[in-house]
Amino acid sequence: MRVVIARCQVDYAGKLTAHLPMATRMIMVKADGSVLVHSDGGSYKPLNWMAPPCTFTESMQPGGYVEWLVESRGGDTLRVLLEEVQSDSTYELGDDPGLQKDGVEKHLQQLLAEHPATLGDGLTLVQREYPTAIGPVDLLCRVTRAAVIVVDLDEPSAADDPIPAGEPPAGHVAVEIKRKATIDAVEQLTRYLDLLNRDPLLTPVRGVLAAQSIVPQARTLAEDRGIVCALVDYDELRGLASVEDRLF
Amino acid sequence: MKFRVDRDVLADAVAWTARSIPARPGTIPQLAGILMVAGPDGLELSGFDYETSAHAQLPVEVADEGKALISGRLLADICRALPDRPVDVSMDGAKVSLTCGSSRFSMQTMPVEDYPALPELPPVVGSVDGDAFAAAVAQAVTAAGRDDMLPVLTGVKLEIEGATISLLATDRFRLSLRELDWRPEQNEFSANALVPAKVLGDTARSLTGGSALQVALAADGGGSDGLIGFSWTAGGSDRRTTTRLIDGSFPNVRQLFPATSETTAVVEVAALVEAVRRVSLVAGRNTPIRLTFSDAQVSLEAGNGEEAQASESLDAALDGEPITIGFNPTYLLDGLGAITGSHVHVAMTLPARPAAFAGMPGEDAEPDLQFRYLLMPLRMQG
């Protein structure tokens, strides 16, 4: 990220033409090649800009001015004439983790860690973010007694279904939590289960995919691999947070 | 359309009708209107938002029959501000003109044809004294939920069994139960209805001067139609309102009242309310006010050592083991505000079990179990 504060004049030519007379502004040159010209106002919106892909050339003009020429593939040009540069700094920002619209997934993990019984009777939490060689599992729970995994929290009656015959009653459960569970989530959980089941102290480890919504293909794949899909109701779980202070 | 009407009667009826007009009519702009119909039976005013309907009939001498649909909000604002003179209303082309003393208003009308038909009042199943009903509802709605996430709990459950109506409301933190006598048309009448608490509260508030309230309920009590209606006379006009019942089953909460108690205490209500108000000033959000009942006293405490603390003691008649119990101060005040009588009877079992509150007409009287308020304690830190 290159940030330049300078007295400059900016001209855009191409699909439309626009002219910014000489004044002090902030110019951002981003790693993706985009160039944005900002004034000290107008919130997030640049006065003018060029979106990538584009080419950037810097040249000296008569009179000692530095000229930047930013050219898009379509032939549009953004021409920045720098009269006086007050500051020119470049920073390495690194990879951005991206926008987290809300912390729902994190919060779901916290809520389910507090109330593992909503995923199945007899589950107790061992650890949040249980580490494995390929990354942490959201929740690792111990099955203290013949556990009944709630297949679908929207249908509490499902809790009455016993676990399939032949399944050992004790062991552990690895829970992967998503807002929307896709095939990728199933694959991820499968890899965790593969690793966790090699640990003689943990095995057998079964998998639970807990999500607010599960795409049909993911559900099919999960069930094929013996992974239980659990639909969780975020709002209901939030209500559970203070369950001890409630009448019912 | 042309008629003359008393200013107070009109203003009162319009204000009441305007309450059931939707704040945002959305795709049906006509719903923002009040329908005025002048006919041989006088003047009728109607408001409707597809959930709740309001209909008022005013004894008015009509010179010319006719109808008009005008903005309810504007009409209510105008009527509220009118001087105390007879009001003359007439149609003037596509506008309605309203004259009162020397003030004149002219209002745009909306097409009457597009206004939806109001639901019919279901069959009347009995009647109840208006003042008693208003008092009962005011107490019952105290505990009703306000969270639209749980629509069932935003209602008041009416359990009608013979000559008694039980009103139940809960938001899962507290529960109110009020029993009310009424006069059913049939002695063996039995029905259940889950009525939006807001509509019930509005209806109760508009009851004045001891008029009787007719209760109308769709025959199977919340089946196909799921409609409840009330009709009564107030402010010089006959009123009726209908509202759609809330779908869903109300939890069986009656059994939450503990059958026995370990400790009962009797405290003067006014003094306790004052003390709770003072002490809870230092209680943060969702932090309890702690009540310790022992030695013919109740000590109130709130806050923690790090920030602010408050405490106060009151006389209390105690029966049973000493107990320390914490409550949400707002919920406690709500309950104390809802009970009637000079003293409150508090029945407790354990610090983590709900406590039942009832009013008492005097210090040595029996608790009045017509209204009971059950409050879940808050956990206390440390």
What is chain B's percent helix, strand, coil content, to nearest 5?
A: 20, 45, 35
Tokens at B326, concatenated:
């914490």
Q: Judge whether A73 is closer than 8 Å to chain B, CB to CB.
A: no
Q: What is the ipTM of this complex?
A: 0.71
State yes or no: pLDDT of A152 exceeds 50.
no
CB A60 within 8 A of CB A68: no
Do A124 and A81 fall into the same domain? no
Q: Judge whether A16 is closer than 8 Å to chain B, CB to CB.
A: no
Do B143 and B216 fall into the same domain? yes
- A240: chain B residues, CB-CB within 8 Å: none
Last residue of a domain, one of A57, A90, A123: A90
Among all residues of chain B, which has the CA nearest to that of A248?
A: B172
- B175: chain A residues, CB-CB within 8 Å: 247
Do A224 and A180 fall into the same domain? yes
What CATH number has the domain bearing residue A71? 2.70.180.20
Residues 6+ apart with CB under 8 A from A30: A1, A2, A36
Q: Judge whether B256 is closer than 8 Å to chain A, CB to CB.
A: yes
Do A150 and A81 fall into the same domain? no
Give the per-residue pLDDT at B154. 94
Q: Judge whether A156 is closer than 8 Å to chain B, CB to CB.
A: no
Do B140 and B162 fall into the same domain? yes
Q: B174 and A247 in contact by Cβ < 8 A? A: yes
Task: State the residue range of the domain holding A178.
Answer: 105-237
Do B6 and B60 fall into the same domain? yes
Domain presence at residue B263: yes
* pLDDT over 90 percentage in chain B: 79
B26-66 pLDDT tens trace: 778 889 999 999 999 899 999 999 899 999 999 998 999 99
B87-108 exposure pattern, b = at least 16 Cβ within 10 A, e = fewer = bebbbeeeebebbbeeeebebe
CB B106 within 8 A of CB B90: no
Domain presence at residue B269: yes
DSSP string, B228-256: EEEEEEETTEEEEEEEEPPPSPPP--GGG
Residues 6+ apart with CB under 8 A from B306: none
What is chain A's percent helix, strand, coil content, to nearest 5?
A: 20, 45, 35
Domain presence at residue B292: yes
Domain presence at residue A97: no
**Which chain B residues in 304-333 lie under 8 Å from chain A, judged by CB atoms?**
328
Domain presence at residue B380: no
Domain presence at residue A173: yes
Do A222 and A123 fall into the same domain? yes
Last residue of a domain, one of B216, B244, B272: B244
Q: A245 and B173 in contact by Cβ < 8 A? A: yes
Do A86 and A126 fall into the same domain? no
CB B373 within 8 A of CB B340: no
Do B205 and B304 fall into the same domain? no
What CATH number has the domain bearing residue B40? 3.10.150.10
Q: B172 and A246 in contact by Cβ < 8 A? A: yes
Q: How far is CA A40 from CA A4, A90, A154, in A?
A: 13, 20, 52
B96-118 pLDDT tens trace: 999 999 999 999 999 999 899 99
Do A110 and A24 fall into the same domain? no
Least confident of B127-141, B213-227, B294-308: B213-227
Do B319 and B269 fall into the same domain? yes
State yes or no: pLDDT of A148 exceeds 80.
no
Do A115 and A227 fall into the same domain? yes
Class of residue A89 by CB neighbours under 10 A (exposed 0-12, middle 13-18, buried 19+):
exposed
Which amino acid is it at A143? V
Domain presence at residue B60: yes
- What's the mean pLDDT in B360-378? 93
Do B24 and B67 fall into the same domain? yes
Do A63 and A151 fall into the same domain? no
Task: State the residue range of the domain holding B310.
Answer: 257-375
Domain presence at residue A53: yes
A61-116 pLDDT tens trace: 888 889 999 999 888 999 999 999 999 999 998 888 776 555 778 888 888 888 88
Do B96 and B148 fall into the same domain? no
Give the per-residue pLDDT at A162. 41
Domain presence at residue B165: yes
Domain presence at residue B382: no
Q: Residue B63, Cα to own-chain centre: how many angstroms?
A: 38
Do B110 and B135 fall into the same domain? no
* Domains held by chain A: number: 2
Domain presence at residue B153: yes
Do B110 and B145 fall into the same domain? no
CB A121 within 8 A of CB A147: yes
Do A126 and A223 fall into the same domain? yes
A180-236 pLDDT tens trace: 899 999 999 999 999 999 988 888 899 999 998 899 999 999 999 999 998 888 877
Residues 6+ apart with CB under 8 A from A95: none
pTM over 0.90: no
* Domains held by chain B: number: 3
State yes or no: pLDDT of A169 exceeds 90.
no
Do A121 and A193 fall into the same domain? yes
Do B79 and B133 fall into the same domain? no
What CATH number has the domain bearing residue A230? 3.40.1350.10
Instruction: State the smallest CA–CA distance between residue A213 and chain B in angstroms.
Output: 19
Q: Alpha-carbon distance B83 to B89, whole Å?
A: 15
Give the per-residue pLDDT at A100. 59
State yes or no: pLDDT of A143 exceeds 90.
no
